[in-house]
Every structure is written in C-alpha cells, then in structure tokens.
Amino acid sequence: MRYLPLILKNSWRNRRRTILTIASIGISMCLLGVMVATFHAFYLSDPTPQQALRLVARNRISYTVSMPLSYEAEIQHVPGVREVMVSQWFGGVYKDARDPKNQFPRYAVEPGKLFTIFAEFQIPEDEKKAFEHDRAGCVIGRDLANAFQFKVGDRINMTGDIFPGDYEFTVRGIFDSPRASDEMYFDKEYLEQTMPERRRGNVIMYDILIDNPANSARVAAAIDDHFHNSTAQTKTESEQAFIVGFLAMLGDVKMFLLAISGAVMFTILLVSANTMAMSVRERIREVGILKTLGFTPASILGMILGEACAISVAGGAIGYLISTALMRAVAKSPFGGFMPALKAFDPEVALICVVAAGLIGVMSSLVPAMSASRTTIVEALRSTD
Amino acid sequence: MAIPIAYNLRNLVVRKTTTIMTALGIGLTVAVLLAILALVQGLGTTLSVSSDPLDVLVLRKGAESELVSLFTRSQFQDLKFKAGIATGRDGQPLASMEVVTIMILPSYANPDGANLTVRGLPPAGIEMRPNVHLASGRWFQPGQREVVVGKSVAQRFPGGQIGQKVRFGRGEWEIVGIMDAGRGTQNSEVWGDLNQVSSDLQRVETVSSCLVKATDAVTARALINDLNDDQRLAVHAQSEDAYFAAQTAQAVPLEYTGIMVALIMAVGSSFAAMNTMYAAVARRAREIGTLRVLGFSRGSILLSFWVEAMLLSALGGLLGCLLALPLNGVTTAIGNGNFAEMAFGFQVTPKIMLTGVVFAVILGSIGGMFPARNASRKEILTALREG
C-alpha cells in the first residue's frame, strides 16, 4: 500500500498513453456495462413487487393462437388467484404501418380490472371512471400521449388487421407508469361487438393477479394442470418470463449478449496488455535501478500489476458511469416498454464491471510484470531500449 | 519522394508482439461487425431464394401475414379463372389455396418447445415451388394424416425425423418425408395435404391464403393490380418477393444493435491503434531524424507513418475476416412473420469481408492521423538527440 503514490505517479508519467488507454478501456467497458446490465435484467434480476404478482396465461402452442373466453371464470377459481383479466392483442394499423413509431402496442382489456391488475399505473379517478363508462373509450400511457400529442378527448382512428374493420377510439385518460408506457388499452366489449359471431369468445392472453409472489410457480402450474385435458392447453408464466420469451423471437438474445461481451472483454485485455508491455519495456532500466536500491522482485511485480489495475479500473469506472446513462436512455425509449424493468444502477452490475476491470488489469500485466521482476540488475541496467 | 512501404512492413514485423496485439484488437471489432452483416446477409438470402418473382401471394385485405389472413373457397373459385395465371402440368391453373397454422415442438435449442409453421397445400402448391425437393422419404398422401418436414426441422428438432409423430390440430401426424429447399424458408416448415389439414383445423371453408403463378413478369404486375382492384374479392395481392422482403425487417433491431456495438468498439480500438502508433513514433525518433537528414520531406514522413497505421489496421481487418469465417454455415433461427421459427445460415460473402477490411482501414487511418502528424513535426536536431 505504501507504494500507492509511486504507482499513481508511474501511471501518470506518459499521460497521453494513459489517457488513450483509459479512454479505450472506458469505451469498451461502457459497452460491457450495457450488455451485463441487459443480461442481468433479462435473466437474473428480481421483478418489481408489482410484476412479481402478475402471471400471463396464453395458449401453449403460440402467442398467436387463442383460447376460449370461458377460461376466465375457471382461472378465477384457482386458489391463489385474486383477479383475472382478458387481454386481447389487437394489432391494427394506425396511419402508416411502415413507420415503427405508429406500431405502439394496443390491447383490448376489461376496463374495470385494468388498474387493479396493473397497480403501478397512476390515473386520475375521474378519467378512470370516464374510461369505464365509454365502451369506445381508451386509456393511453404518458409516453404515447407525448409522442403523438394526444390529449383527453382526442379521437384515434385505426384499421384492424387481425380483427378487420374500422375503429374509432376516444382518449378518456392518460396514465403514468414507472416503466416506458407507450401502450393503449381499450374495452374488449367494443372489439367483441365488431366481430362476426363465429370469431367471438376467444382471447389471446389472460393477465392474472395473484395474492402472494411466493406462490407464483405453484399457481401457474395449477392453472396449466387445470387445462391439461382441454382442447386448448395453456402456458402460464410470470410476466418477466413472458416478456423474455417474447423477445427470444428476435433471435438468440442470450447468445448474442454473451458473444459480444466476450469479444469486448478480450479486446480490453489486448489493449491493456499492449499498453503495459510497452511501458514496462521502456522502463526496464529503471527496474534495474529500483532493484539496486533494494526493491524486491515481489514489490516490483506488485507495482507493475498495481499500475495496470489502476489504469483499467479507472477505465472501467468511467465506462460504467457512461453505461448507466445509456441504460437510462434505453429504458426510456419505446423499446423499453417491451423489456423487463431495466435499472440504471444495480450494485451487482457495478460490482461485476469493476471486478472484471481489475481482473483484466492483473491478467494483462502478468507477463510483462513477471519478466521485469525476474530480470537481473546487470541485464536491466545494460538495456538500451 | 515517398519512403518505401517495405520500411513500414519491416517495422511492423520487428515489433511483432505489439503489432499482433493491436491488430487482434481491431480484428475482434471487425469480427463483431462481420458477424452481424453475415447474419443479415444470410437471412436476406434465405428470404430471397424462398420466393419466385412470378408468384403472387393473395391475402385478406389488411392482413400482414399468412397467419392472420383469411381466404374462402368461394373467393378461390372467382380467382382461379383470372387472366394471366399460368397452367400447371395437369392443365389446371397454377393456383394453390393454402392453410397456415402453427405447431409447437421441442427443439434442441429450446426444449420447452419452439414454434413451426404448418402449411396445408394442394399438389399445385408443391409444383409451384421448384426450389423444394424431396430429400428422403416420400410426399404425404391426400387424405392421410401425414406430413413432410423441412431439413432444418429434421436437424434442429429431435422429434422431426421420418417415422416420428407430431401433434397439431386434433391429433397426431406421421412424418413421412424430409424436403430440401436449398436455403429457402420452407426448410423450417411442416407440409401436409390441404384438405386433411384444413378439416382438422375446422377451417374447411375459410383457409389462409392463395398463391398463384403468373405467366410472365408483365402479367404478374397486371394480375396484382387486377386482384387488388376487384371490389368483390376484397383481397390484398402482392408479389411473393415483396412479402418475403418485408420479413427481413425482423432482423432490423438485431442489425442496428450490432452495428452500434461495432461502432463503439471501433472508437475504442482506434484509441488503441493510436497508442501503438504514438509508441512507434517515440521509439523511432532517431530514425525519423535520420530520414529527414537524408532528404525525406515532412510530408513523406507523415505519409509513411499514416500508411503504417493503415497497414496495421488492414492486418487487423484480415484477422477479423479469419475470425468471422468459421461462422459461415452456422445456422441460427429467428421468428418470422408468423411468429414461428425460421432457420437460416450465416453467410460471410467476399463483399462482406471487403467491407470489414475497409472498415478497419478507415478506423486505422483515423487512429494513425495524429501520431503521423506528430512524427512529421519533429525537428531534425531534437529528433536525432532523442531516444
């Protein structure tokens, strides 16, 4: 520890090189931070308290195959279930479908239950009442309202694709959500009325509220068992698992994240190793002098390793800070609505990044540090490089 | 007068550890870029070879995919006598009414079950897809609960072999053959007899879509207009090419993310290249002085170091290509417009590799600019005294 000032002085000697190295590591580390945070949010993190209370049931075959509406009453009777709501993916075309901005999600739901199931949605009581009383009404998320400058009372016209026809919705309320909120909810009765007789009575999803997060797996299994011998078997899973499963449609997300993280780590390792090799080579005569002054090989080894660690941890810390800013932006983007809750700061992710940076520092400088500590005094002093 | 490139090459060889480490760093960046481009290319090829420019796909108005589309048998009676439809081997118009649904089957990658597209089609439908051949077994018999699966299904799903049974609709179906569609998307599909599949799904009268083959390209366009203008039919006709091309949009989020990642990594590795070149300039101060004494101008010193940086990064680009090449032929899958698995292979084409090398050289030239300027600005006397 008493060598710390010397280590810091050494690392600051060739400022340009140190700054370039820190910048290079910082940029790669910021990427790694985003990857680790995303991976963490998808596969390792705990859901928010509200999310932990929600299950989603769908047809076992696919997100696109429906189930009978009669399941609602049956699910309601499964022990542990507090509330069940029909949730119909509407699809539809708003203005020009080619503009991704116009493809916000819209669901046909039961207005009376919506704010019980999604307890985190904040909406003024009078707007909520107005929504419940207007069959052609809808409520929209704050982000969606901002994106299109929608106000309460505005009309939204849509053409159905899964459910053919022309629809006109009146905005009855705007709700706030801690997550990205670019979705629209309207009354399923409105949709049901427009359908021909033979298509009625089916639904794509049930949103289920349970009484205790600890029962999540048990309730999900009980629901699936209940419908095991029915024509349409169900698959019930936590909201978190449902979202991750849906994202898997984009491709092998897990593999993608791991492969990129690996490539980034290896790049940082190379950059750091290169820098340390260069600076040790230039300083070999100095190592000889230090040794004549009585520094042991172990302390020289420690000093060089320490210098590498200092540089890569500095880069790692800067990179991590930038990555938190990036994550905040991603969570706010429309894409964030489709993702599990992304947290800008997560102590576990921060720890992973800093430890990874430290390890990379040690690994990258091990070879030059070992060879420097092993060089004999005479050899080191004779070096002309 | 320019300094010979051999000088730069030798310098790179002499400092081989540094050269290789820097080049490898650039190479990894290039490899990430190439992997994404190869994925998008592979998907694009798969989609483009799956369709025939003369084929016209007819869906219900407003339907974006076959899965949500509806098409009735009475519409088919009106449609099949439209002008411009080619005639098949049996003398009937080449028009294939098809029913599309989804089934679930555990795959090696996804033991919980992945979705596959099931297509019920008449013999004309097989005749209209000349890229699809039977690889082994036999075609399904009309009226039998038999299916033929694509070769990707056989490779990626343990239960996708001849003789095994799959479940969809109201019961089990026996796999009697495996079809090979080259690189086409049909490799990820399960095909059965139209009448058998549609009655099993209780969709005898209302199936999903209709595929018709036009006699030539001009007629194809006329046919599309004719169908779209027909108020009574109320269908949306488009060339099959256009339908598949729209599905490449599935890869857009992945493509954007990948390119962003490669760009960020490129900034990082250009800093690393800058570092290496600054060190090279510092170590060779005396050489630079000597070159100046010999009469080489500041300009040629600048050029020489800049070229060296580009050589270094070009080497990185080549390493990146080498790293990305093994991806060729690796198959992966993505969800298609029907929310079912669509398998395709990465495709590292020469054009993509060239893009990678150019990307590396641009990266290196940006990183090498400042060290080269630094080298060219050295005064002769101080340069000779340094080092």
**B192 and B173 Cβ atoms separated by less than 8 Å:** yes
Tokens of A228: 């095991």
Place of tokens 């079912």: B340
**Residue B17 has what pLDDT?**
85
Pick the residue of B14, B17, B18, B21 with the most A CBs within 10 A to test the interface with A by mutation: B21
- Model's pTM, two decimal places? 0.84
Q: Give tens-digit pLDDT for B289-314.
A: 999 999 999 999 999 999 999 999 99
Band the pLDDT of B156: cuts 50, 70, 90: very high
Phi-psi region of B213 (alpha: psi -120 to 50; beta: other; left: phi over 0): beta
- Interchain contact, B268 vs A25, CB within 8 Å: yes
Pick the residue of B14, B65, B204, B257 with the most A CBs within 10 A to test the interface with A by mutation: B257
Of residues B237 and A62, the one with the higher pLDDT is B237
Pick the residue of B30, B271, B363 with the most A CBs within 10 A to test the interface with A by mutation: B271
Q: Give tens-digit pLDDT for B123-155.
A: 999 999 999 999 999 999 998 999 999 999 999
Place of tokens 């119909």: A88
Q: Please give the C-alpha separations between residue A194 and each of A167, A169, A188, A190, B66, in angstroms, as whole numbers.
A: 9, 13, 10, 7, 22
Among A1-5, A109-113, A242-246, B326-330, the range with the most confident prediction by mean pLDDT is A109-113
**A56 and A207 Cβ atoms separated by less than 8 Å:** yes
Residue type, A10: N
Residue B338's closest chain A neighbor by CA?
A64
| Cα–Cα distance measured from residue B70 to residue B64, given in angstroms and rounded to the nearest whole number | 11
Q: What is the mean pLDDT of residues A3-20?
A: 87
pLDDT beyond 70 at B347: yes
Which residues in chain B are contacts of A335 at CB distance < 8 A?
A: 253
- DSSP letter (8 states) at residue A211: S
Q: Give tens-digit pLDDT for A330-368.
A: 776 656 555 666 666 778 888 888 898 999 889 989 988
- Burial class from Cβ neighbours inside 10 Å (0-12, 13-18, 19+) for residue A378 reads exposed
Interface residue B16 vs chain A (CB under 8 A): no
User: C-alpha angle B373/B376/B381, rounded to 5°?
Assistant: 140
Q: Please give the C-alpha separations between residue B125 and each of A86, B120, B294, in angstroms, as whole numbers.
A: 38, 9, 78
Pick the residue of B12, B24, B28, B36 with the most A CBs within 10 A to test the interface with A by mutation: B28
Q: What is the mean pLDDT of residues B215-244?
A: 91
Instruction: Choose the closest CB to B28 out of A17, A249, A267.
Output: A267
Q: Give tens-digit pLDDT for B181-219.
A: 988 999 999 999 999 999 998 888 889 999 999 999 999
**Residue A344 has what pLDDT?**
67
**Residue A339 has what pLDDT?**
62
**B92 and B124 Cβ atoms separated by less than 8 Å:** yes
- Interchain contact, A277 vs B17, CB within 8 Å: yes
CB atoms inside a 10 Å sphere around CB A192: 18
pLDDT averaged over every residue in chain B: 90
**Residue A70 has what pLDDT?**
93
**Residue A124 has what pLDDT?**
95
Percentage with pLDDT > 90 across chain B: 60
Q: Give tens-digit pLDDT for B372-385.
A: 999 999 888 888 88
**In Å, how far from its chain's centre is CA A215?**
25
Q: Which element (helix H / strand E) includes A106?
A: strand A106-109
| Cα–Cα distance measured from residue B362 to residue B311, given in angstroms and rounded to the nearest whole number | 11
Instruction: Choose the closest CB to A64 out of B67, B109, B334.
Output: B67
**Residue A354 has what pLDDT?**
87
Which residues in chain A are contacts of B334 at CB distance < 8 A?
A: 249-251
| Cα–Cα distance measured from residue B84 to residue A234, given in angstroms and rounded to the nearest whole number | 46
Q: What is the mean pLDDT of residues B241-265?
A: 85
Which residues in chain A are contacts of B264 at CB distance < 8 A?
A: 27-28, 30-31
- Interchain contact, B272 vs A270, CB within 8 Å: yes
Tokens of B247: 């599905």
Band the pLDDT of A384: cuts 50, 70, 90: low
**CB-based contacts of B230: which residues, under 8 Å, 6+ apart?**
B78
**Residue A173 has what pLDDT?**
94
**Residue A385 has what pLDDT?**
55
Instruction: Choose the closest CB to A250 out of B110, B274, B334.
Output: B334
| Cα–Cα distance measured from residue B193 to residue B199, given in angstroms and rounded to the nearest whole number | 10
State whether residue A14 is helix, strand or coil.
Answer: coil
Band the pLDDT of B90: cuts 50, 70, 90: confident
Interface residue B22 vs chain A (CB under 8 A): yes
Q: What is the mean pLDDT of residues A52-58?
A: 93
Of residues A141 and A97, the one with the higher pLDDT is A141
How far is A123 from chain B, CA to nearest CA, in Å?
Answer: 32
Which residues in chain B are contacts of A62 at CB distance < 8 A?
A: 102, 104, 115, 339-340
Which residues in chain A are contacts of B67 at CB distance < 8 A?
A: 64
Residue B171's closest chain A neighbor by CA?
A231
ipTM over 0.95: no
CB atoms inside a 10 Å sphere around CB A178: 12
Q: What is the mean pLDDT of residues B217-238?
A: 92
Band the pLDDT of A250: cuts 50, 70, 90: low
pLDDT beyond 80 at A101: no
Q: Give tens-digit pLDDT for A200-246.
A: 888 999 999 999 999 999 999 999 999 998 888 899 999 888 888 87
Of residues A198 and A139, the one with the higher pLDDT is A139
pLDDT beyond 80 at B76: yes
Q: Give tens-digit pLDDT for A289-339.
A: 888 998 888 998 998 999 999 999 999 999 999 998 888 877 766 565 556
Q: For chain B, how many residues are written?
A: 387
